[in-house]
Structures are given as structure tokens and as C-alpha cells.
Structure 1
Amino acid sequence: MAKAEGSGTTVEDVKLHIAALQGNCSVVSNFIGNNINRAITDKQETILHIATLARQDKFVEKLVSRLKREDLELVNVMGSNPLCYAAISGSVKIAKHMVQAGSHRLVNPESGVKPLLVAASVEHGEMVRYLFDKTDLQKWNKVEQAELFTACIYMGLYVKGFQVPCKRTSNQSQALELLGKLFSCALSSDEENPLIRTEEVENLLYEAAEVGNVDFLIKLIQHNPQLVWANEMTGSIFHIAVKNRHENIFSLLFQLGAIKDIIAKIVTSGENNLLHIAAKLAPQDKLNTVRPTALKMQRELLWFKEVEKIVPNSYREMKNSDGFTPRALFVDSHKYLREEGERWMKETARASMFVTALVAIILFIASFSIPGGFDNSSGKPVLLKQNLFTVFSISDAVGLVSSSVSMLMFLSILTSPYVEEDFLVSLPFKLMIGLTSLFISITAVMVAFSATLNLYHHGIAFVSVILVFVPILYFSLIYSLLVELFQSLCGSRFLFKPRNRLFN
């Protein structure tokens, strides 16, 4: 393992450092000529180190083409070669240039820092996948292998088509032992090599269930189906999935036939059955996957209702050690969320109702102030036979009806009792209808305006169309709430639909 030579303290070094950061080939060529592998920092980093860290792809490609293989292996004071810096940067493109031009020792240095381990530690999954096949893990010592394993656990990425869970383990020797077992099971086609159920494997299983790593769970269960069962304290992996709201894992339960009914009867510590677990508030990171507070409450109700379908009827009234039935526990743990959902829903309804009322007033006045006025003798509109007048009349009528529907929906929201079940369908549906009607009424106002403008000023149809659709387009872009409501109401039917096959 050779280190780059140089002081890294001269004015020239500073200029080279800046040039490397900027990818300035001309400055570098003027200063260093053929001495391209000199160190330019106090940490003995070369120009290649710095340019790689700055992700100067084209600059690095030119440097690599001029370097010898041994130059690519030069390390800094910490023992990191340029490929380690590529691993930090996450640029697979740069890494490929180096690997193709370098020797086997670049990816597998005999000493110093391992590029693959660096990529895993900074959580660059694509870089890990690229370097993994090119790394000789058999030559790594136990500590390095354990560090890689725990880093991959923390990341939750695929290694050789095998996914590991995303949580660190504190015992490196156990991690190393598991690494060998898991790799042998995942990569071997030997059916006589089942995964032995140990306490460590069970802990790993629960960690995977906790973070929602369904592919890893499927891999383990395929090697040892007994892992679907529970221990006395935490319940099964499906109890963990319900607690952490991982529907992709929970849906696997429906592929187990009658085993599902047995697992649904398991009571964990604190005398909590599966419905009690569903009644508790979801982790904050899962709640944050849905933005509007009212829709967070709806998602929680969806989980409670789904779990309620599979537990025995008697479990719905079972009390835990704190004296709560599942329903009472749900109400108690979601009290603040329900209040926040009610506040958000009312504020949204009030603001939208104000806009709807303005639109309705405009359309109502427009219906009696028609363009062109009325004929004094017949009392009919002067422009009655004009096609644009028909467009005006229809859009005015549609807008007035839709704004009336919108106001009724918002009024219904404001007068709702706001019990928990209202958040499941009633309130989101009313809000979606109200906002949709409001959008239609605003569109109708703009169409009526365009028609009137063209009745008075012929030949500006193109301009009026632009004037109409600019506010409509802007409204549709900023009102993503409509999309979220639609997804929550219509997409909820697919939420617990199995998306992964447990057994092929």
C-alpha cells in the first residue's frame, strides 16, 4: 500500500485543489505535467481523490486514462484509495472507470480501507451492488465482514439478490455467524440446508418485520416456515407488522390458510390481542406518509377495520391488562389525532365555502346580467341565437349548480358530529365532492367569461382560451389535496391486497 508524496501546503497545491474541485483540466495540465499522482493536501490526497469526491466525471475519466495502475492504488493517510472516495461520492460511473482501469487490488486492497465497506457505511446502495460482485469477501477478516453486515442491515439493501433488514446489531460475532448462515440459505440451492431457527435469527426476523422488509421475511420463511409463529412476548411477525403499519407484510397472512385464524388469536404481553395492537397509534414516520391530518385518521381506521375482520368476535370486547377494549383503546390513543383532524377539516371547509359562495354570487348575478341585454319588444336576449351565448348559458347554469352542491357539502362537513367512523368514508367523501364541485364551478366561471369576451370582441378566441385555462391549470396544480383524497378513498381497497407471493 503506497501513499502519495507531497506536502499539500504550497500555493500550487491550493490551486490544484481548486482546479480538481472544478474539474479544470487546463489548470491541472499547466501545473503538474506528468507528475499527476502527487499529494496536494495535508491528508495526502491526490488530485484524483479530490476530483472523485467532487463528482467530476469527465475530469476523472481523463485523469484515469493518464494514470498507471499503481497510481490508482495510492492511499491517503487514512488508507483510502480513490475508489473509496468514489464510494463516498456515490458515483457508479466514476467507480466503473477506476475498476476497469485498475487492478484487482483497487477493489480488494490488502490493507487499509475497503471501498465496499465505505459504500455501505454511507448508504449508497447502487454502489454497494456494483462493488459487491467484484469484492472478494472471503479474504476479509471477521470484523470487516461483521461491519459490512451491520451496515447492510442498517441500509436494507439487496446483496446478491438477497435483502437484509435495516437495523444494526450490537453483537458483531453473532452478526458474522448469521451472515454465513443467511448467505448460505439465500444463495444455495441445496434444499437440505434449512435455516436453523435460533434466537438470533428470530431477532433478525422481528427486526425485518419492524422495518417492513418483506423480501427478507419471505426469504427466511421459505427456508423455515415455522418462523411465522410467535414468541410469548412480542407475538408473530404479523403482530409486529400491524404495530408498525406494514401492510405488505400483514397481507402475507392471508396466504397461510387456517394458520391465519390461529395467529389472529395470539395474545401478547399486557393481554393485548391483535386488535389491541391495531388500536394503538401508528409510529410517527408511518403517519407522516399521509399529509392531511384527517386522512391520517382515515388510514388508522382502515387498519383497525381490516384487523377487526380477522380476529374472533369475542376478541373485539376483550380487555387488556389496562382494562381497555380494542375500541376504547383506539378512541383513547387517537383522541388528539381526531381533534386535529376535526380542526383541519373544519378550517378547510370554511375556507373553501367562502370561495364557493363568491363563485355562486358571481354566477347568480351573471345569469340576470346576460351579455347583449334583452330585446325591449320581446324581452328575449338579443344574442339568443349566437352559439357563444349558448355556451355562456350552459356554463353559467353548470357553475351555479356545482357551486350550490359544493356549499352543501362544506356545510355538511361543518355540522358533522365528528365521531371516529366519520373519518373513514363520510368526511373524506364529502370533502372530495365539495372540492370537485368547486373546481367545476371555477371552470364554469372562466368558460362563461371567455364566451362573453368573444361575444363582445370577435377574433380573440385564442387569447381568451389562454386566459381561461391558465387559472384552471394553476388551480389543478396547487390543489393536490383532491388527488390525495381520491387515492385515500379509492386506493384503500387495494391497500391490503397481497402484492408479494409468500410461496412460489
Structure 2
Amino acid sequence: MRDKAGGNGVDRNFYVPLYIATLRGDWESARIFLLDHPEALTARITIDLGTLMPADALALPDKWGNTALHNAALAGITRTIKAPVRKNPALPYKLDNGGTTPLGISTLNANLEKKEMVWYLCSVTTKEETFTGASGAAILCDLTMAGFYDIALHLLHRYPHLATDHTRDDHAIGKTTVLHVMAAKPSAFPSGSRLGFFQRFIYSLFPRLYRLLWKAIDKLGMQYYTAAIAVLLLVKLCLVLTWFPFAVPGIKQVRDTKFTHIHSLELVKCILTQIQRMSYSQITTFLLIPNIMEKATTFGTIEIVTACVKCFPDLILFYMKGHRSIFHVAVEHRQEKIFNLIYGGDVRATGIFHYRDELGNTILHLAAKLAPSPQLNSVSGAALQMQRELQWFKEVEKIVRPSYKDWTNRKGKTAKVLLTEEHKDLVKEGEKWMKDTATSCMLVATLVATIVFAAAFTVPGGNDNARGIPIFLKYNSFKVFIVSDALALFSAATSVLMFLSILTSRYAEEDFLKSLPTKLIIGLAFLFFSIATMMIAFSAALSIILSENWAWASLPIALIACFPVTLFALLQLPLFVEIFYSTYGSGIFKKDSKYRLY
């Protein structure tokens, strides 16, 4: 018996070519099929009763309540949604069985490839009732989760009430607002982005360069008394700014990052402007009940923390979950930028450090606990991770009352005891990392020392048999050889001794703070110097040997000799710089003028 689900007494399989053509976006094949079989426009061609419909039937839903626009929005193909909307402008306001519009469907699984489609649906969905209550808040939150801050800002300008609207109550996270979502996205703000030197320079040009161009254009227009020249220059310069980033992917990424930060900061500003219109009790409930401040502190989103405290200064005095302040949360999650706010805050903040949580832990106990994995893994190497943990403990120890050092929690443990218990595995890993690194480097240093020691007694050109002195003693190249060879030997021997002292260290907790890193810094520095001077000695020796007939070969040989030295520097310099900066740099605990509470 034939399957009548397709309609018109025709088996649904008959419409498979049409179905496949629509999925592929092959509209020419679909058009030819429909010319031969016009009844296919209203036939049920999919298992969920979907159809290809004329303009007056585009709003017909399938069994899930999805219209053609819902399905197109779910697929994320921009070109497939414009034609239905042009034929039936009411489609953007149709709801599926879950009460969701096509715009809401498009934001659920939004990504960069679907951004153009989301923009289009926002432009054709303009009725205010679509953006009221939980459904409007869900759309704004989904846009923010997807990183579409410019679209979210556009909607917030149109409908300011979305700033304080909540989504439906989710059993996992409860009601959510857009500020709650922003609090968990530190990468959307300048403090959460890590840019190199060149990237920071390019970052500073956008959009400042656009403003400078406009000023230049204005002056040129006044000078030549014509707007034509100004417009022409503006077009050319804007084309350069627009297309150059696409030609250089790294610059495009920096430009996109800058505009993301601009839009996210403006989004937070608009949200707080709306919050300030609320009463004192409403603000307290809005910011504390869904734990926006705690979440922002946990993720280190300092822009939201400072903006909220400036809007509502008493926030720093409120307890979070577990009878803790934002500074307790910052210490527990190792968010140094928020912890550093104490340096720029008011005197009331100093009293917060003396709070004890519901388990009797002081803020020093929280510093003694092992850091969460994301913050711990942001530092390379177990030894440096242990050093960072000790730095946190020492810094917090400076600001608490002296009695807190011996204060026990409800389990009867002092902060020092808790530090030892929590970090015993990390100490073992740090010891293994240090010994493995020292063993590998000591092997290289020993090899260098052996080579340059032997070279000192087998000098190029040999010795005078009568007097026993080198034949080329008066040559400048020989002087370079003998001096660099001696320096290579002395530095290699020093490096071996430093790495040996690392292998024989006791590996107590305190050793990871200064002693072990210092030895590693000295060892790596002398190892690099020994390799560099060894290659200089080798180049000088070849120069002496080839000076008679192949004098031209000295320069290329010297250049080639620079390759291993440069390679070693590129491979080991990042580790060396990180260890040096972590041990003797300005540190992570310092006042930052960019971020202040007031």
C-alpha cells in the first residue's frame, strides 16, 4: 500500500530529490522539479510533515510547531530566510510549540557563521512584545553567550528593559540576566585578553585611527575648499583600514578583539544605567541573589566588579555565599586583579579581610588551599605553580592580623598546616620538574665543558715544538678563540655546579619561593653564555685555519654558527623570562591605576 503522507496519493519518497535539493541549497534543481510537479509546494515531504509552501501557506507549522522560517533559522543559512520573510512579513513573529520565535531559535546555537542571519532576523523582528519578559531576556542572554555583543547592544538600545529582565527559572542555574552571562566571560573585556607587544600596538590604533582620519579629512577639506578631495581620501583610507586586516589575519583578529571590548564595555554601561533607576533594595536583590558579583569575581571579570561597586559602593561589604566577601572569593580563585582592588579601595575594605566563613576559615586559610585548575595551569611548570601559591600565601599573610597565623578552623587546622596538606602533591611534582630540567641542562653543560676543555689543548695551527707556544699566538683571531674558549669553560662549569645544587636540594616548601628558582635562573643564564662563547671559539678557530686561502668563508660560517645559539634562545628564553619575572619582577600584587573601586 502506498504511503499517503506525501499528499495527493503520492509516496513521500517521490519528493526525495526535491527535499535533497532544498537541503543543499540547489534552488535551480528545486525550481525544475516544481515546474514539473507544482503540487509539491503543498506536499508533506519530510517525516515531521514539513512542506514547501506558497506565500499564503508559509506560516503552516509542522508537528513541532515550526514554520518554514523556524527551520531555516535552525539550519543557519541566511539566503534561505530572506525570501520567506519578503513573502510573509508575519513569519518572524510565529511561535513554535515551545513559544519560541525564529529569532529565538537562531540564537540558541549561534556562532560566527550564523551572525549575518541573526542580524537579519533582528532587523525584521521589531515588535516590542517579542522582547518582553523571559523570552526577550533569553534572546539577549543567548546573543551574549555567542559573543554577539554588537547585536545585543543594538537590542538593548531598542528595548532598555531587557537589561534587568530574567530568563525562565532553570533548575541548574536559576533565573539569569545578561549581566550574569557577562560576568562569566572575562575574555570579552580588556583585562581578560593576552596580547603581545605588536598586537597591543595594533590594538591601540583601533578605532583611534578612524577618529584621527576624520580630523585629517576635515582639515584637508578646509584647506582646499572642497569636500570632494576629503571624501576621496576618506574612501581610500577606509578601504585600507577595512581590507588590510583581511589580508593580514593577525591584524584582523586584533581589530575584532578591540571592537568586541568596545561593545562589551558599552553593553555593561547600558545595563548599569538601567539598574541605577531601581531602588536600593531592588539593586541589592538584583546583584546579590543571582550571585553576579560572586560569579564575576570567580572568573576574574574585574570590569564588571568595579562597575558594579561604583554603581553601588556598599556591595563590597555584603556577604556572598558561605559568609565570604568578594575578596575572599578572589583569594580562593586566585584572581589577583580583583584582590589588588584593596590597594585602591576605601578603608572599609580592610575590615573585610577579618571575616571568617561558615567553616571557620579565615582568608589566610583560603590562600592556603590549592588553587583551582584553570588558575594553576596558567603558570607553566609545577615548580613555578608552587612558587605562585607561596606568593599568594605570603601576600595574604601580610594583611591579616598576626593572630590569624595560628587561628584554627573547625577542623582544628591552622593555615600553615592546611598549606602543607593541600600542596604535598604539587611539591612532589615540582621536585620532579626541577630535577628533570636540571638533569637535561646539566648534560648539555657537561658536554660543552668537555668540548671547550679539549679545544684548549688542541689549538688551531698547533704549537711551536721548540718553545711549546701556539703558532698563531699573535693573531687577533687566535686571541678571540682562546678568550671565548676560556669563558665557555668557566661558564659551563658554573652551570654544571648550579644544576648539581638543584639536584641535591632538600625541596622544602620555602625553597620553591626563591632558592630553587634563583639556582635555575643562574644555571640557564650560564648555560646560554657557554653555548654562545663556544660557537664564537669555533668560528674563530675556523677563521684561523681558512685565513690563507678561504678568507671569504669566515663570514658565512660565523652566521651559521649563530643558528644554534639563536635556536636555544628561542626555545629556552620564554621559560627563563617567566622564571626571572616571577621571582624578581614587580609581581602580581600591585596597585593598578586602570582598575579602581572609586
Instruction: Supply the AA of the counterpart residue of 2:554.
Output: A
Give the secondary structure class of the aligned counterpart of 1:133. Answer: helix
The question of 1:350 aligning with 2:366 is answered no
d(CA) in 2 for partners of 1:143, 1:230: 22
Q: Does 1:471 align with 2:571?
A: no
Return the alpha-carbon distance in structure 2 between the equivalents of residues 155 and 379 of structure 1: 79
Q: Deviations over 1:123-160 (max 9, x none)?
A: 6554133343146446989675889945663453789x
Look up the match of 1:153.
180
1:84 matched residue in structure 2: 106
Cα deviation 1:293-349 (Å, max 9, x = unaligned): 001100000000000110111211222222222212211211111111112111211
Counterparts in 2 of 1:385 and 1:32: CA distance versus 1, 3 Å: farther
Of 463-472 and 392-401, the range deviating more from structure 2:
463-472
1:96 to 1:53, Cα distance in 2 relative to 1, 3 A: closer
Contact 2:317 2:352 in 1 (8 A): yes
Partner of 1:484: 578
The match for 2:486 among 397, 406, 419 is 397
**How many Å apart are 1:378 and its aligned residue?**
3.8
Q: Are the counterparts in 1 of residues 480 and 540 from structure 2 also a CA contact under 8 Å?
A: yes
The answer on 1:502 being equivalent to 2:593 is: no
Pair 1:13–1:455, CA change in 2 (3 A)? farther
1:246 maps onto 2:339 in alignment: no
In the alignment, does 2:393 pair up with 1:307?
A: no
Contact preservation (8 Å) 1:162, 1:186: no
Distance apart, 1:246 and its partner CA = 0.9
**Partner of residue 207 from structure 1, selected from 271, 285, 295:** 295
Q: Cα gap change, 1:445/1:127 in structure 2, threshold over 3 Å: closer, same or farther? A: same
Q: What is the aligned length? A: 462
Q: Tell me, which stretches of 5 or more residues in structure 1 are unaligned?
A: 1-5, 21-26, 55-59, 164-181
1:467 shift after superposition:
2.4
Residues 23-47 of structure 1 deviation map (CA, whole Å, 9 limit, x = unaligned): xxxx7668759x9xx999989779x
> Contact between 1:123 and 1:155, CA under 8 Å: does it hold in 2?
yes
What's the TM-score once normalised by structure 2's chain length? 0.65
Does the Cα contact within 8 Å between 2:74 and 2:106 map onto a contact in 1? no
Query: Given residue 180 of structure 2, which amino acid in structure 1 is its aligned partner?
Result: I
Aligned partners of 2:183 and 2:328: how far apart in 1?
21
Secondary structure at 2:110 match in 1 = helix
Secondary structure of the corresponding residue to residue 401 of structure 1? helix
The yes-or-no answer on 1:427 pairing with 2:516 is yes
**Cα distance per residue 1:417-462 (max 9 Å; x no partner):** 1111111111112112211211221222222222223333332234
Q: Alpha carbons of 1:40 and 1:408: their partners in 2 closer, same or farther (altered >3 Å)?
A: farther
Q: Taking structure 1 as reference, are residues 193 and 117 closer, same or farther at Cα in structure 2, changes over 3 Å only?
A: closer
> Is residue 87–residue 118 contact of structure 1 (8 Å, CA) maintained in 2?
no
| Matched-pair contact (CA < 8 Å) for 1:87–1:119 | no
Structure with larger Rg? 2
Once residues 274 and 119 of structure 2 are traced to their aligned partners in structure 1, the CA distance between those partners, rounded to angstroms, is 32
Q: Residue in 1 aligned with 2:150?
A: 129
Q: 1:217 to 1:385 in 2, by over 3 A?
A: same
| Structure 1 counterpart of 2:413 | 324
- Specify the code of the residue in structure 1 equivalent to 2:576: L
Kindly indicate whether the alpha-carbon contact (under 8 Å) linking 2:309 and 2:315 is maintained by their aligned counterparts in 1.
Answer: yes
After superposition, the Cα gap between the structure-2 partners of 1:8 and 1:243, relative to the gap in structure 1 and judged at 3 Å, is farther
Aligned partner letter, 1:433: I
The percentage of counterpart residues that share the same residue type is 31
SS of match in other structure, 1:282: coil
- Residues 229, 93 of structure 1: alpha-carbon distance in 2 compared, 3 angstrom cutoff: closer
Provide the rounded CA distance (Å) in 2 between the counterparts of 1:439 and 1:371: 24
Distance 1:224 1:486 in 2: 40
Give per-residue Cα distances to partners, 1:453-489, cap 9 Å, x unaligned. 3333332234323422322232223323223213322
Alignment partner of 1:88: what SS?
Answer: coil
- Per the TM alignment, residue 118 of structure 1 is displaced from its structure 2 partner at its CA by 6.1
Deviation at 1:192, TM superposition (A): 9.0
1:264 pairs with 2:358: no
Residues 321 and 93 from structure 1, CA distance in 2 versus in 1: closer, same or farther, beyond 3 angstroms?
closer
Indicate the RMSD between aligned Cα atoms, in angstroms: 4.5
1:493 aligns with 2:493: no
Report how far residue 82 of structure 1 moved: 11
Aligned residues of 2:104 and 2:139 also touching (Cα < 8 A): no
Q: Which of the numbers 282, 292, 301 marks the counterpart of 2:371?
A: 282
Residues in 1 aligned to 2:154 and 2:513: alpha-carbon distance in whole angstroms: 49
Equivalents in 2 of 1:8, 1:492: separation in Å? 74
Q: CA deviation at 1:66?
A: 9.3
